């Protein structure tokens, strides 16, 4: 290695030490974080009779987000999409590790990015316990670790014939916001649905007591419900008229609304199955948490997701037919 490149490597090392300062020194929320950032590895204590729930997501500039997106929103979303996976398991968040690949060390990007990330971490009491930084095209990877009492996690398997298929809140707003942004529209009231999704952690913890199968809606209801039918060995019949389309889409045609609500993805709501006799009780408990719930279909025999009506899906999230 030439002296020139090793000097430049030393410079990079100093730069990246500075970067790490944006992510260390934050308070720890959990006494079971025995050792966080600062050693060779983190040391974490699992509460007795709990299982570790782990999920990871990568976001690449130009693939998962626009180059000019607000860095604070990006920090939020990187953690939010991971927390959404924990919610879908009925897990309680605990820890996160972060791998950043950055083209340059730019405080004007790093500061808001870390603030967006830590604001959501504080809300859900997530300790950032480790990370890595390298130079390259902007790529953000975060891994979350949650806990669940032994045997209590809700998986995609477990849906049974006759059960009701439910979703939280509304669908389609994130996909519609993305479509608008791609068409050059900037002032979009529903933009936060795309850029700052709400992970349904508390709802997931409640549903852990009732749901038989669950998934978070990252790729659109058709694709994600398809994962439940596949893993549960059942079919699903959707009632298209019961899909809770976000009101911002109400001026669109029914076909356009269904395409966005069922195939666009990025909504990060929860889809779950419930025995029919539990539906009203769960609906009331969710209402007490200010969360709307809709029954959108029923578990049937056979496989895959079906519906009656003329609508045919057009969208990127849907790859099952
Ligand atoms: Mg998921």
Tens digit of pLDDT for each residue in 23-44? 888 889 999 999 988 888 999 9
Maximal C-alpha separation, the chain: 73
Residues with CB under 5 Å of ion ligand 1 are 85, 216
From the number of C-beta atoms within 10 Å of its C-beta (0-12, 13-18, 19+), residue 312 rates as exposed
One-letter-per-residue 3-state SS of the chain: CCHHHHHHHHHHHHHHHHHHHCCCCCCCCCCCEEECECECCCEECCCCCEEEEEEEEEEEECCCECCCCCHHHHHHHHHHHHHHHHHHHCCEEEEEEEEEEECCCCHHHHHHHHHHHHHHHHHCCCEEEEEEEEECCCEEEEEEEEEEECCCCCCCCCCCCCCEEEEECCECHHHHHHHHHHCCCCCCCCHHHHHCCCCCHHHHHHHCCCCCEEEECCCCHHHHHHHHHHHHCCEEEECHHHCCECHHHCCCCHHHHHHHHHHHCCCCCEEEEECHHHHHHHHHHHHHCCCCEEEEEEEECCCEEEECCCCCCCCCCCCCC
State the CATH class of domain 3-149: alpha beta
Counting residues of the chain whose pLDDT is more than 90, the rounded percentage is 77
In this predicted structure, which of 70-84, 179-193, 255-269 has the lowest mean pLDDT? 179-193
What separation in Å is there between the alpha carbon of 8 and the centre of ligand 1?
Answer: 40
Residues 63, 294: Cα–Cα separation, whole Å: 32
What separation in Å is there between the alpha carbon of 213 and the centre of ligand 1?
Answer: 13
What separation in Å is there between the alpha carbon of 218 and the centre of ligand 1?
Answer: 6
What separation in Å is there between the alpha carbon of 85 and the centre of ligand 1?
Answer: 5
What separation in Å is there between the alpha carbon of 56 and the centre of ligand 1?
Answer: 10
Annotated domain spans of the chain: 3-149, 164-307
Q: Which residue has the tokens 């953000």?
A: 140
pLDDT of residue 25: 83
Q: Which residue has the tokens 């979350």?
A: 144
Please give the mean pLDDT across all residues of the chain: 92
Tens digit of pLDDT for each residue in 252-309? 999 999 999 999 999 999 999 999 999 999 999 999 999 999 999 999 999 999 999 8
Residues 153, 89: Cα–Cα separation, whole Å: 5
What separation in Å is there between the alpha carbon of 216 and the centre of ligand 1?
Answer: 5
At 19, the pLDDT band (50, 70, 90 cuts) reads confident
What separation in Å is there between the alpha carbon of 182 and the centre of ligand 1?
Answer: 24
Topology annotation, domain 164-307 = Phosphoribosyl-aminoimidazole Synthetase; Chain A, domain 2 (3.90.650)
The answer to whether 187 and 281 have CB atoms below 8 angstroms apart is no
At 106, the pLDDT band (50, 70, 90 cuts) reads confident
Bridge partners (DSSP) listed for residue 251: none
pTM: 0.93
What separation in Å is there between the alpha carbon of 66 and the centre of ligand 1?
Answer: 22
Q: Regarding beta strands 127-135 and 92-102, do their DSSP bridges make them parallel or antiparallel, or are they unpaired?
A: parallel
Residues 292, 168: Cα–Cα separation, whole Å: 6
What separation in Å is there between the alpha carbon of 84 and the centre of ligand 1?
Answer: 7
What separation in Å is there between the alpha carbon of 120 and the centre of ligand 1?
Answer: 18
The answer to whether 272 and 214 have CB atoms below 8 angstroms apart is yes
What separation in Å is there between the alpha carbon of 117 and the centre of ligand 1?
Answer: 19
70: Cβ contacts below 8 Å, ≥ 6 apart: 112, 116, 195
Residues 321, 316: Cα–Cα separation, whole Å: 12
């Amino acid at each position: 290695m030439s002296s020139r490149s090793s000097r430049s490597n030393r410079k990079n090392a100093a730069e990246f030490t500075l970067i790490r300062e944006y992510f260390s020194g934050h308070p720890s929320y959990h006494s079971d974080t025995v050792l966080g950032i600062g050693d060779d590895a983190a040391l974490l204590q699992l509460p007795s009779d709990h299982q570790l729930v782990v999920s990871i997501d990568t976001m690449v500039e130009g693939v998962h987000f626009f180059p000019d997106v607000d860095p604070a929103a990006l920090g939020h979303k990187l953690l939010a999409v991971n927390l959404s996976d924990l919610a879908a398991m009925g897990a309680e968040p605990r820890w996160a590790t972060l791998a950043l690949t950055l083209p340059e060390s730019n405080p004007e990007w790093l500061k808001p990015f870390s603030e967006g990330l830590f604001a959501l971490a504080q809300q859900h009491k997530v300790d950032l316990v480790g990370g890595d930084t390298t130079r390259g095209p902007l790529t953000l990877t975060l891994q979350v670790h949650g806990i669940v009492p032994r045997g209590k996690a809700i998986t995609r398997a477990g849906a049974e014939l006759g059960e009701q298929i439910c979703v939280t809140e509304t669908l389609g707003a994130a996909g519609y916001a993305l479509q608008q942004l791609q068409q050059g529209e900037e002032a979009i009231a529903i933009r936060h649905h795309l850029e700052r999704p709400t992970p349904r952690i508390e709802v997931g913890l409640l549903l852990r007591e009732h749901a038989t199968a669950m998934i978070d809606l990252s790729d659109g209801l058709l694709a994600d419900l398809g994962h439940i039918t596949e893993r549960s060995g059942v079919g699903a019949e959707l009632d298209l008229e019961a899909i809770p389309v976000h009101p911002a889409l109400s001026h669109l045609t029914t076909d356009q609304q269904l395409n966005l609500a069922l195939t666009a993805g990025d909504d990060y709501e929860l889809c779950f199955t419930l025995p029919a006799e539990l539906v009203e009780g769960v609906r009331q408990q969710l209402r007490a948490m200010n969360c709307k719930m809709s029954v959108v279909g029923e578990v049937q025999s056979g496989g895959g997701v079906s519906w009656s009506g003329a609508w045919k899906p057009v969208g990127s999230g849907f790859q099952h037919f």
